[in-house]
Structure 1
């Protein structure tokens, strides 16, 4: 049983490895890599939300997509956290909460 869990964990880590920003936070490469990964996670989150809202899904599919949505939300949080760290290292500190973009109101016609 433990070996199966270990294998499952290794598979999950492998699937998520793409989203790890490997460039140092104080480098120009960081921002390019960060933007690519953030854009992919953010748009993927929107796509999953759209599937949940517009498709007739089985209970198992709904459960799977909700779990996937939580994963993308965690990834976006991670990427936003390292962005704040990179900005703080440059001496840029957020003084107030900026209005957050709410993708709930996006209407897709594709």
Structure 2
């Protein structure tokens, strides 16, 4: 899953790059990717990039530089209460 990207591509979010190459490396060499780069382009120029981190890590902006540049993000194992594993459904969603 990539934020802002449709089921099979498209959407407003940055598009994942090099997925096939990463899959081949994983299958043939046993090297799973730590992250996949996602890039949004407008008229052929990159306007937004983000690392897509291996679960359970999340891309976190370092606070320095542009938040549109993947170079200013790091993959972190957790945001604390904001990770999926720590969300209590009864605290978050209404149910019958």
TM-score, structure 2 as length reference: 0.22
When Rg is computed on C-alpha atoms for both structures, the one with the higher figure is: 1
Q: Which has the higher contact order (CA 8 A, sep 6+)?
A: 1
- Report the structure, 1 or 2, having the larger strand content: 2
- Report the structure, 1 or 2, having the larger helix content: 1
